[in-house]
A and B are shown apart, each in its own frame.
Chain A
Amino acid sequence: MELPIRLSKDSREPIYHQIVNQLKALIAGGQLVAGTPLPSIRVLSKDLEISIITTRRAYQDLEHQGFIRTSQGKGTFVAEIEDATKQQVKISSVYQTIEKAVDTAVQYDYSLDQIEEIFQEVIRSQRSSRKGD
């Protein structure tokens, strides 16, 4: 199984961190349920075109945080995680996405007031399109 992980090599976020965050999102979002086998470090490294040093670091981080577990000789699996943790991952992923959007706008020289206006505009158009459903 090839995991739907998309690395952005242009991002300032370190590669191992991108893997950790995306796997956490897949687990918290329920796309990867507890017990799902994950690719070996070597196979994931091949798929993502990175070294095993980077992949191992990501897996160790995820294991440390309780998202995955490794059993000797059997491989790596998605761990059982609590609902509170899932909620935490979801909320922090929403925050990160919005923060990233704000960063992009700032890079294009928009003021924070202008960004707020854009944000409200997006919310308004979402509201009206959802009403139409």
Chain B
Amino acid sequence: MKTWLEINDLQKKIDDDFQLGPIDLHIDPGTITALVGNNGSGKSTLLKLIMNLANPDMGNIKVFDKFVYGQDESWKNQIAYLPQTRIGWNAYTGNTLKGLTSPLYPNWDDALFTKIVELFDIPLNKRYRKLSQGIQQKLSLALTIPRNTPLLILDEPTSFMDIPSKKQFIDLLVDWIDQDERAIVIASHQTGDIKKLSDYLCVLQNGRHVGTFEKETLTERYARYWISDTLPESTIPGEVSRENHQLISNNPATTEKFFTENDIAWNNRSAVDLEDIVTYLVNKGKEG
């Protein structure tokens, strides 16, 4: 399979306190990758670097085999990017914005635009700045998804939306990616997006790339144990956190081996929620 987006050893120093990277990341057709991390972890910066809106200090980014900072800008027709804030849209109505956007994209799907406008009940005759933040996000999606580029990049697309709209958004994206060979990268704090949409989680913590994980590989790696005995004070192999009679491990095999060897009885093993796993990954980064 051919990689559509390839990031190698990417590094960018923002100031004395913050450095992004090094990051290695591959995006393949048909996949959805969620970019997750604490606030200020560098998710938006990474997306800007992909779009050549900022310059890296080191490393390479290729989109459809073209360096994004190269002379050949043909890759721009194959990628649609929804930034967190849209600059210069305030004075225009949805109708005007559509008139400005659609001619730029040869695969623009007008029927899909209309479908999204009707689905979210977006008023097209009001100026952008007059719309609530939730409606602004809906209009932005209506102006981005119908570009029908193979690669879609979304930065926090649903943070202001209500619960039913978030659900409709998920169904919309699932339907969209199923239509053709496509891929999505989505920076999000929304549990629903991460659970229902993502195949891979790219985890960032204060600029550090904690890792990129396939979802089930990650969830199957974590286990929660209920221990009837008292736990030894020393850290147990695989231990991520403990509280009273509960122990979380990110290496169940070695943890259980330790239990057996040390005659520690545990009476229940259960899965750890993806949200908790992300929290452990991001907190672990803080200490290291």
Residues of A within 8 A of B (CB): 9-10, 14-16, 40, 42-43, 45-46, 49-54, 107
- A42-B216 CB under 8 A given contacts A10-B269, A10-B270: no
* Assembled-state Cα–Cα distance A16/B198 (Å): 17
Residues of A within 8 A of B174 (CB): 42-43, 46
Residue B200 at the chain A interface, CB threshold 8 Å: yes
User: Are A50 and B270 touching (Cβ within 8 A)?
Assistant: no
Q: Which of B170, B199, B267, B271 contacts A10 (CB 8 A)?
A: B271
14 contacts between A and B (CB under 8 A): A10-B269, A16-B216, A42-B174, A42-B177, A43-B174, A45-B199, A46-B196, A52-B30, A52-B31, A52-B32, A52-B199, A53-B199, A53-B214, A54-B216
Residues of B within 8 A of A51 (CB): 198-200, 214-216
Closest B residue to A52 by beta carbon equals B199
Chain A contact residues, majority secondary structure: helix
Closest A residue to B272 by beta carbon equals A9
Residues of B within 8 A of A50 (CB): 215-216
Across the A-B interface, give the 10 residue pairs with the lowest CB-CB distance, nearest first: A9-B271, A51-B199, A51-B215, A49-B195, A10-B270, A46-B196, A54-B216, A10-B271, A42-B178, A46-B174
* Assembled-state Cα–Cα distance A16/B170 (Å): 23
Residues of A within 8 A of B199 (CB): 45, 51-53
* Assembled-state Cα–Cα distance A15/B215 (Å): 11
Residue B197 at the chain A interface, CB threshold 8 Å: yes
Residues of A within 8 A of B109 (CB): none
